[in-house]
């Protein structure tokens, strides 16, 4: 069966950010920054031999930075939240596609992904709980903390 793991998730995210947005993530070093006043959790489910959920947790400022790199500066009248969440969803679509292509090369099983979902996080305690979980990957993307996780099940 195909193997979707955190190493593949990390490699896929790094490649997508470098290719799409000219951002080169590195492992996070040092203390974690304080919780942002707003953040995003972008999740996408992969269906292979079992259901796995990939999550990207990012501060709102990173989402704006990503959107600017992909789409140019925010135009007057544009909805910044919609623009930032669209950029994050597109990023996760590309990451998921790369992961599934790699997994598909190992298997003849039917593989599928759901549409990405975006949730805003504006509660510092929820942010801290998410990034403190065991098994998460913490990356530095142009000075912003990105947190990745891969879980089995819904």
Tell me: pLDDT of 2 over 60.
no
**What pLDDT score was predicted for residue 1?**
36
**What pLDDT score was predicted for residue 80?**
87
Domain-wise residue ranges, the chain? 6-31+39-152
Residue 74 confidence class, pLDDT cut points 50, 70, 90: confident
Residue 4 confidence class, pLDDT cut points 50, 70, 90: low
Three-state secondary structure string covering the chain:
CCCCCHHHHHHHHHHHHHHHHCCCCEECCCCCCCCCCCEEEEEEEEECCCEEEEEEEEEHHHHHHHHHHHHCCCCCCCCHHHHHHHHHHHHHHHHHHHHHHHHHCCCCCCCEECCCEEEEECCHHHHHHHHCCCCCEEEEECCEEEEEEEEECC
**Fold (CATH) for 6-31+39-152:** Chemotaxis protein chec (3.40.1550)
pLDDT digit string (tens) for 88-122?
999 999 999 888 888 777 766 667 889 999 999 98
């Amino acid at each position: 069966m195909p193997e979707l793991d955190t190493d593949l998730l990390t490699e896929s995210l790094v490649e997508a950010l470098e290719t799409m947005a000219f951002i080169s993530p590195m492992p996070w070093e040092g203390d974690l920054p304080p919780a942002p006043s707003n953040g995003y959790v972008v999740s996408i489910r992969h269906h292979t031999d079992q259901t796995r959920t990939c999550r990207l947790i990012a501060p709102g400022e990173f989402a704006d930075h990503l959107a600017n790199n992909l789409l140019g500066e925010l135009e007057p009248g544009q909805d910044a939240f919609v623009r930032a969440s669209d950029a994050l969803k597109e990023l996760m679509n590309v990451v998921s596609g790369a992961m599934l292509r790699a997994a598909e090369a190992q298997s003849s099983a039917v593989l599928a992904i759901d549409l990405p979902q975006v949730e805003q996080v504006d509660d510092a305690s929820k942010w801290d709980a998410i990034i403190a979980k065991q098994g998460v990957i913490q990356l530095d993307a142009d000075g912003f903390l990105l947190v990745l996780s891969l879980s089995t099940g819904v």
